[in-house]
Structure 1
């Protein structure tokens, strides 16, 4: 036997290796609150848009900003967070990020206006930016390479668990407490995660970390904010040819181009653009971004469909979204087995095509469609996502050396968050524009100021109708019809994006992995014996 060779093969210290699964559990708890927050918020959107004292009376554009303030700050700081984790130690950064996230959650729960909520959501995004990359970076440093796909699959399944728990938890909280409870619930989870983190998780860092790129961080945040603001504003005005909209979007694109040029010339870039010369790496990143573009846009409008059109409570809406999360929880840890059998290319292409088909299926939903059909759509969407997220995460994380795990994780999460933010902005704006165009002629009898407010979203129209009493009943059916048409248009746009993603991965991702050689088999046996 070649038993003495085992220590040379193992790069993880024995004491850490023995508790690696417990460490993974703590990392998933930290991940849970970051993902949980967004999935809870999805159910609470309608409640927050309700006038005080029930909610904050947030408009659709303010709701989009409440979501995107979090994701934009999150995405903009991920590169720096990853580098700081590599430099200062991932455990220290993870603990600090969790603490800031907990404080932001407590402040968001006490928001007195939509503007305050947007600001405190940004604080939460700041903390989350230091949590997400650190969890995956620590994971890559406590598992040996042969166990990393399994661990990443379980990690990705944790995302599905959070998506499952979030809407139901949000629904229960909204049924018994005020809307702010959906944020306050994060605080005890943060306290528990901090305690377990101190006890179990080892620290790690890059022996040769890069310098923090402050100019790059500022350019990326400004560019993304301008771009997303222009897109949301275009949806609010139902016009993407408005001079202000075009100027803002153009400025955002220009700043992002300047960011890329600066990063190429910098000797300490936030993002090493040479990574993207690897077509496999680029395709995996693109797939993640496009999946979250479609997913975040869909969850945004599906909540209004179930609550405003179908009349379900937040709790029932949370239960309705359970199949989406359950499918991810079931299939994400097993996706690696499918990859072993048919390869990354076929697995991810099939997942994206299934996602596109289910997005297209949303265009068939009506006000009286049997609700079990929506459940089937959600389950198959989750199945498709599970077979995209796990393989692409493994490709990305194994493309870079272990010492650069923080950077790889940051890149993966940046594109996930930017894709999600753009999905909410673009698909939310398509929804808003299509809705306004569909309802505008039905609002002609209202005063001009009220007409503009009522046309912004279905919730705004129904709110105005409720204030008008019996005279407003005539607006309810046109509002539902206009929303359904807008949802159909938006869903088809999302399906088109998923098809683009399927083409990208079909062309660039590798096929079936090569069979292991005899030497590799022997190494695996030696590792297994220990």
Structure 2
């Protein structure tokens, strides 16, 4: 296709809108959890499934969606994804019980999986090397606006209307993006290759089985889902290494740059995965913030991420991806360490500072990590390559939500006094609903203790990511320079 598409900057706006709808949705839902749970009568397990059903399907289908976009057309797949996302958001808006909302969220996950790989692959194919860095910076800035605006907008919508409005806002954005894509965007495809249906099935079974196993772990090991995860993932790797035209180029993992950056991203997302879920509950249940105040509390993190993202992208081209990744990861670990010291009496200033440190670390590390990863992906496989990047991050996020959510849930139950009613030991929301002052105080203390443990786990995971990046991502200086020249720094968008 033409290197200088005359509509390329308009196309970038469409891609930004498509990404924005996903970012906003992920952010506003965390703010909506308490009022949503109260209105629908959702149990803690219902809430976890409302959050995880989306991630489960999204992570499971990303690789298949990326392959489909390369094969059938990236614009076509993105438009189908936007339509599914918009319609299911409308269904979620008027859900009358937790089951209906979980079903709607599942369909939203399918739509999201079709949207995300297509946006990054279209951007890579529309812009040439001279302009791709600028396009990525704009795309990243929009994602950060969604990160800042999502919780604030969600809090305002809940205060002015009701929790369903956080889903309804997705509908006009999806419609505008679809109309603009049809009017402005050219179609692009990868080279014709044989379909790989077995690889697609194995990847879906393996990823969904893995996340399902972790989600169910606190209630006992689910041997069926564990078997599906092991057989699916092992079978997928074996098949993809043997088949002549694999759906996913797994030989990329032989590249130290790719494997080091992907493992680092996974560990970072495990740490970040449960942050929003846990911290939102802390702000609203422990510090008694309103949904709007809880949304505003994330502004220091998003602002720091936006500021240091630009700094990280600039410095990354000068000092190298590995240096920026390690420095950023250690900063993130420091932020999680600060978060682990929060208690029921902590004021907003310290919380804001800890979130600022977390955002600064992410801004330094993530652009270089994704730049290093994507620089090894062949342009002809842009769709499945960007899907592999997204899968790595979403798998980590899914594991983070499941693992840290389970740690907080189990820690809360164990920290509650034995004399407390059974309902009060299940979740802080149920404990506060009893209206007993002593139980409420014990619940706030128990939740804060459990939250501190989860943030310490996150800190250790991110330190592990820094060590991996330091030792695995070594490569000759000349090769490193060539890689930086070939691909611009790319900003994290989850």
Which structure would you say has the larger Rg? 1
Q: Is the 8 A contact 1:308 1:458 kept in 2?
A: yes
Is 295-304 or 62-71 further displaced after alignment? Answer: 62-71
Q: CA deviation at 1:512?
A: 9.7
Find the counterpart in structure 2 of residue 496 from structure 1: 460
Question: Where do 1:311-326 residues align within 5 Å?
Answer: 311-326=288-303
Question: Given the superposition, is the C-alpha separation of residues 157 and 512 from structure 1 closer, same or farther in structure 2, using an over 3 Å criterion?
Answer: farther
Question: Where do 1:139-154 residues align within 5 Å?
Answer: 139-154=123-138
Question: Given the superposition, is the C-alpha separation of residues 368 and 136 from structure 1 closer, same or farther in structure 2, using an over 3 Å criterion?
Answer: same
Question: Where do 1:380-399 residues align within 5 Å?
Answer: 380-399=357-376
Find the counterpart in structure 1 of residue 488 from structure 2: none
Find the counterpart in structure 1 of residue 52 from structure 2: 68
Question: Where do 1:422-441 residues align within 5 Å?
Answer: 422-439=399-416, 441=418
Find the counterpart in structure 1 of residue 33 from structure 2: 45
Aligned counterparts of 1:461 and 1:266: Cα–Cα separation in 2: 54
Q: Is the 8 A contact 2:304 2:359 kept in 1?
A: yes
* Aligned counterpart for 1:506 among listed residues 453, 465, 470: 470
**Given the alignment of the two structures, is residue 460 of structure 1 paired with residue 430 of structure 2, yes or no?**
yes
Aligned counterparts of 1:184 and 1:257: Cα–Cα separation in 2: 40
Aligned counterparts of 1:204 and 1:371: Cα–Cα separation in 2: 48
CA RMSD of aligned residues (A): 2.2
Aligned counterparts of 1:227 and 1:76: Cα–Cα separation in 2: 9
Q: CA deviation at 1:245?
A: 4.3
Q: CA deviation at 1:342?
A: 1.5
Q: Is the 8 A contact 2:90 2:167 kept in 1?
A: yes
SS state at 1:455 partner? helix
Deviations 1:191-220 (A, max 9, x none): 1111221222221111x2333433333333
Find the counterpart in structure 1 of residue 213 from structure 2: 230
SS state at 2:2 partner? coil
Q: Is the 8 A contact 1:454 1:460 kept in 2?
A: yes
Q: Is the 8 A contact 1:80 1:212 kept in 2?
A: no
| Residue segments in structure 2 that go unaligned for 5+ positions in a row | 486-494
Q: TM-score, normalised by structure 1?
A: 0.86
**Given the alignment of the two structures, is residue 294 of structure 1 paired with residue 278 of structure 2, yes or no?**
no
Question: Given the superposition, is the C-alpha separation of residues 270 and 516 from structure 1 closer, same or farther in structure 2, using an over 3 Å criterion?
Answer: closer
Q: Is the 8 A contact 1:284 1:505 kept in 2?
A: yes
Question: Where do 1:396-415 residues align within 5 Å?
Answer: 396-415=373-392
Q: Is the 8 A contact 1:154 1:332 kept in 2?
A: no
Aligned counterparts of 2:168 and 2:11: Cα–Cα separation in 1: 25
Question: Given the superposition, is the C-alpha separation of residues 397 and 461 from structure 1 closer, same or farther in structure 2, using an over 3 Å criterion?
Answer: same
Q: Is the 8 A contact 1:294 1:498 kept in 2?
A: yes
* Aligned counterpart for 2:2 among listed residues 9, 12, 23: 12
Aligned counterparts of 1:388 and 1:155: Cα–Cα separation in 2: 17
Question: Where do 1:83-122 residues align within 5 Å?
Answer: 83-122=67-106
Number of aligned residues: 483
**Given the alignment of the two structures, is residue 262 of structure 1 paired with residue 245 of structure 2, yes or no?**
no
Question: Given the superposition, is the C-alpha separation of residues 222 and 383 from structure 1 closer, same or farther in structure 2, using an over 3 Å criterion?
Answer: same
Q: CA deviation at 1:315?
A: 0.4
Find the counterpart in structure 1 of residue 355 from structure 2: 378
Question: Given the superposition, is the C-alpha separation of residues 272 and 401 from structure 1 closer, same or farther in structure 2, using an over 3 Å criterion?
Answer: closer
4+ residue runs over 6 A deviation: none
Q: Is the 8 A contact 1:344 1:510 kept in 2?
A: no
Q: CA deviation at 1:227?
A: 2.7
